Amino acid sequence: MNNKIKKILPQIITVLFVLGIFGFFTFNAQINMDNRGIDFGFGFLTQESSFDVQFSLIEYSGSHSYARAYLVGLLNTLLVSFISIIFCTILGVIFGVARLSSNYLIRNSAAWYVEFFRNIPLLLQIFFWYYAALRALPVPEKAGPWFGVTYMTIKGYYIPSFIWTNLDIFLYSILAVIISIIIISTYAKKLQENEGKQIPVFFISLGLIFVLPALTFFIGGVSLDFGIPVLKQLSKTSYVFDGGIGLPPELIALVLALSLYTSTFVAECVRAGIQGIGKGQKEAAASVGLTPNQILKLVVMPQALRIIIPPTTNQYLNLTKNSSLAAAIAYPDLVLVFAGTALMQTGKAIEIVSITMLTYLSISLAIAAIMNWYNKKIEIKEK
Amino acid sequence: MFKVMKKLTSFMAMVAVLFAFSTEAMAKKSKTLKNTQKKGFVRCGVSQGLPGFSNADASGNWTGVDVDVCRAVAAAVLGDANKVKFTPLSAKERFTALTSGEIDILSRNTTWTLSRDADIGLTFVGVNFYDGQGFMVRKNSGITSVNQFKNGISACTNIGTTTELNMRDFFNSRGISYEPVAFEKADEVVAAYDAGRCDTYTTDKSGLAAQRTKMKNPDEHIVLPETISKEPLGPVVRQGDAVWEDIVRWSLNTMIEAEEYGITSSNADSMKTSDNPAIKRLVGAEGELGAAFGLDNDWSLRIIKQVGNYGESYKRNIADPGILPDRGPNQLWTKGGILYVPPAR
């Protein structure tokens, strides 16, 4: 009994202490806010925001609510994080593998790349890409087309917009493709395990991806038109592109900076993962007659991934949190739109900052959950 | 488990009551004035660099008409206009810095609006500059009026300002679609506009005039004649300290009234023997005006001697550097402007 109390008592005291501190600050804040006539509440979220945002994935204008403005900022944060995570992964894998190349030039260039971008503060890199882009890019009227119909200008990258008819039928066909690929690959795996036969899953899938959606155009009544960006004169010397979709230079600079910076850390994770696999593994694989490609795909990578995933998850989380630096260059992310303009217009500092913090926390936890699930999936299953 | 919860709740309630009492008691005693005199300096929030209003030179000396308001308060309550600690704040940070008690006066070209005054625990004490929002464009664009703006125009500005809201009202009422590009810091707005990111740069006209001086080629830009909003700029204090609020308000009023009566930093001492009782009250030779704030009777004389009257401050900070040589509405009511302050008596 005595022993039990000894064990539990310190824990209770600790909990009470923490709660006490929390209570102290909460009540203090409450009283200070009362004294200064600030009231606490989330009612402002439904009020009209009355400010516009430069770039939004959903329909938004100042006549929408603050809650909608929050959503605009959140989606912009997710967009820039998502694109950057994809790019930094591709770059990271390339440079991570390149650092282990037997070619002197490739190996050392990769090492230089990693050391260079890893050791310059991210905010400086964001400013560099932004102002470098602003200085280097042509004004709209002087921009020549890239790939025929896209224009890279100081005011943004203009691409054609898609104007769909019967988009839903097209999306169903994509869904059908995904389901059939899953069925085929499961069947192929069984066939391989039971009868040792292999069927070309890759080519069948490729065929499905092209054929089925294409069919909807011919018999499903689906059609796609493009809204081509057209040059428009604003004044004697300034022009802008009208129609199409304009990706703001802020987004481009941010994606560049975030993916280059984070890719160096991913590259190091990849290198560590590959180097963590013993040489004996490769030699053993070669001795049972696997080709170099098969060795990488079937022996090295599955094991290396287990080392690579956890630290890479950290880098993805860092990237997402770092995306909040967007505010410095006017990219309307969550921090700029919600914790910036909305906070200023409403003055609800405590409410808005807590919502923003909770949002970043949720995004991070969601990414961690996805990566943990993937990590579980690829870890060694003891039989 | 339930018992533990109950105990915990009662404990929390006790803690709450205890702190409620202690902070309540503290709040009643707490006077910003007392703290300021104990610290020996006035804590003043200013901009991150707006020539004419609040701007630091290479050696860290702050100058500007907004800066002078804080200096006037320091002269009044501490006897020395230099005893001010300036905190540069972005538009976004400014109100939080004031409500959280990091600064005691916010004198940072801040527009007085109903929602700011009523909602967020602030009190505006007066107006030290009557301004309005305008637009700057490149001269070679051929644009000479906002009526020439067309759909698709991109406008650089700051976040967290009334500018963002006015801009929307302006473009919406005219049915013009526009691209707002909003930065956190003024320097970045200027850099982006200067680099050609935006067709126009919009903020208060005084700000446009001041920022134009920072551009690569100031002569390549013009400020359009139209004013699209009322922007009365003035110092702000926290709600809940009426005495402090009065001190800041009357420090500003003193500067304006001193100009009205022709009292300057150089002639203030000799004005003590003036025949006009209003002048004598302002230089502390008659009446007990300072006592109402808990200050001595020379508080206003020190403001005039150390900082100067409003006209001197305007000339030194805004007119002489060529930012806005014409005082426009910021002229005394006796000279065709709208500067009109209640009498000090």
Between B70 and A381, the higher pLDDT residue: B70
Pick from B115, B182, B239: CB nearest A37: B239
Pick from A24, A330, A340: CB nearest B160: A340
Distance CA B130, CA A178 (A): 64
Residue type, A174: I
Nearest CA in chain A to B198: A155
Q: Please tell me whether residue A152 adopts helix, strand or coil conformation.
A: strand
Which two three-digit tokens encode residue B215? 């551009």
Residue in the structure block whose two tokens are 């009234």 = B257
Distance CA B31, CA A104 (A): 71
Pick from A31, A235, A236: CB nearest B20: A31
Share of chain A above pLDDT 70, in %: 99
Q: At A348, is the pLDDT very low, low, confident or very high (cuts 50, 70, 90)? A: confident
Between A117 and A150, the higher pLDDT residue: A117
Nearest CA in chain A to B21: A31
Q: Out of A26-40, A74-88, A340-354, which region has the weakest mean confidence (pLDDT)?
A: A26-40
CA distance to partner chain A, nearest, from residue B175 (Å): 13
Q: At A260, is the pLDDT very low, low, confident or very high (cuts 50, 70, 90)? A: very high
Using alpha carbons, select from A241, A330, A50, A233 the residue that is nearest to residue B149. Answer: A233
Average pLDDT for residues B117-129, to the nearest whole number? 89
Q: At B30, is the pLDDT very low, low, confident or very high (cuts 50, 70, 90)? A: very low
Query: Which residues of chain B make contact with A240, given a CB cutoff of 8 A?
Result: 152-154, 199
**Residue A292: partners with Cβ closer than 8 Å, 6 or more residues away:** A286
Domains by residue range for chain B, with CATH: 32-130+233-335 (3.40.190.10), 133-229 (3.40.190.10)
Nearest CA in chain A to B91: A344
The per-residue pLDDT for A115 is: 94
User: Which CA distances in Å does A7 have to A1, A10, A12?
Assistant: 10, 7, 10
The per-residue pLDDT for B5 is: 57
Using alpha carbons, select from A351, A48, A359 the residue that is nearest to residue B96. Answer: A351
CA distance to partner chain B, nearest, from residue A367 (Å): 28
Asked if residue B53 lies in contact with residue B203, where contact means CB atoms within 8 angstroms, the answer is: no
Q: Does A33 touch chain B (CB under 8 A)?
A: yes
| Contact call for A235 and B199, based on CB within 8 A | yes
Q: Which residues of B184-207 are buried (b: 16+ CB within 10 A; e: fewer)?
A: bbbebbbbbbbbbbbbbbbbbbbb
| Contact call for B183 and A28, based on CB within 8 A | no
Pick from B91, B151, B197: CB nearest A154: B197
Q: Out of A172-181, B7-16, B300-309, which region has the weakest mean confidence (pLDDT)?
A: B7-16
Which two three-digit tokens encode residue A284? 């053993």
CA distance to partner chain B, nearest, from residue A189 (Å): 52
Average pLDDT for residues A227-247, to the nearest whole number? 81
| Contact call for B8 and A19, based on CB within 8 A | yes
Edge-to-edge order in the sheet of strand B122-124: B84-88, B42-46, B105-106, B236-238, B122-124
Residue type, A55: F
Class of domain A66-160+228-378: mainly alpha
Query: Which residues of chain B make contact with A248, given a CB cutoff of 8 A?
Result: 181
pLDDT digits (tens, 9 = 90+) for B32-79: 999 999 999 999 999 988 889 999 988 889 999 999 999 999 999 999
Indicate whether B28 pLDDT > 60. no
Which two three-digit tokens encode residue B110? 């801040």
The per-residue pLDDT for B25 is: 38
Q: At A86, is the pLDDT very low, low, confident or very high (cuts 50, 70, 90)? A: very high
Provide the mean pLDDT of chain A: 87
Average pLDDT for residues A133-155, to the nearest whole number? 81
Percentages of chain B per state (helix, strand, coil), in multiples of 5: 45, 15, 35
| Contact call for B8 and A16, based on CB within 8 A | yes
Which pTM does this prediction carry? 0.77
Q: Please tell me whether residue A239 adopts helix, strand or coil conformation.
A: strand
Query: Which residues of chain B make contact with A328, given a CB cutoff of 8 A?
Result: 183-185, 188
Q: Out of A226-240, A248-262, B313-327, which region has the weakest mean confidence (pLDDT)?
A: A226-240
